[in-house]
Amino acid sequence: MEIHLIRHTKPDIEAGICYGQSDIQLATSFDKEWTEIREKLPLNVDRIFTSPLSRCTKLSERLATHFGLLPEKDVRLMEMNFGDWEMTRWDDIDQSELNAWMNDFQVKPCPKGESYSDVRARLEGFISEKLQEDIKYLIVTHAGIIKCFHGLLNNYHGMDLPISYGNVYSFTLNRPKLDI
């Protein structure tokens, strides 16, 4: 089984804003970034999954045309829900509240949002349900989901990994079913 995860391209938002599940449009650099992504793609894939947020669906539609496949949207591939912090500058979030969350992000949810454990549970559900055939998958998603996916495969949280816009992260598994 091959799994190729792609982080959406650069969003049209000022750096330093917490935007998680907010539906942000893409920057005007999309076409240039698409050209760079195309060079990193496998020759073929069998299925394409995508987060339903527009910053992922635009790329998944381009990939669908490229591969001749229909992208399948799945809400479990959405970025972490940062709740009350959505669309707030990270620097403007109460630092004691932010530090408390960062020190215990695996179990502590953001105010009116999700914890890492919540994200992991929905990603485990997606994997158990959707990634069972020994085929090539392409998944367009977000940095947090890619980190969590990497963590699931390597038995740690994965949140310390740098994940770049428009980059492809590939995994080859020797078994048709993930044991999570």
Give the CATH number of the domain where residue 6 resides. Answer: 3.40.50.1240
> In this predicted structure, which of 39-48, 62-71, 165-174 has the lowest mean pLDDT?
165-174
- Asked whether the predicted pLDDT for residue 177 surpasses 70, the reply is no
Residue 73 pairs in a beta bridge with: 50
For residue 11, what is the DSSP state? B
> By residue range, what is the domain housing residue 66?
2-113+134-172
In a domain, 160, yes or no: yes
Positions of E strands within 38-82:
47-50, 71-73
Residue 175 pLDDT grade (very low, low, confident, very high; cuts 50, 70, 90): low
pLDDT of residue 180: 47
In a domain, 11, yes or no: yes
pLDDT of residue 37: 96
In a domain, 143, yes or no: yes
* Pairing mode, strands 136-141 and 2-7: parallel
Q: How many domains does the chain have?
A: 1
Residue 109 pLDDT grade (very low, low, confident, very high; cuts 50, 70, 90): very high
In a domain, 127, yes or no: no
- In 3D space, the residue among 149, 90, 96 whose CA is nearest the CA of residue 125 turns out to be 149
Cα–Cα dist 85/44, whole Å: 39
Q: Which residues of 70-98 are buried (b: 16+ CB within 10 A; e: fewer)?
A: ebeebebbbbbbbeebbeeeeeebeeeeb
In a domain, 81, yes or no: yes
Cα–Cα dist 143/8, whole Å: 8
In a domain, 179, yes or no: no
In a domain, 122, yes or no: no
- Asked whether the predicted pLDDT for residue 178 surpasses 60, the reply is no
In a domain, 46, yes or no: yes
Structure tokens at 121: 């549970």
Instruction: Give the global pTM.
Output: 0.92
- Asked whether the predicted pLDDT for residue 152 surpasses 90, the reply is no
Asked whether 55 and 29 are in contact (CB, 8 A), the reply is: no
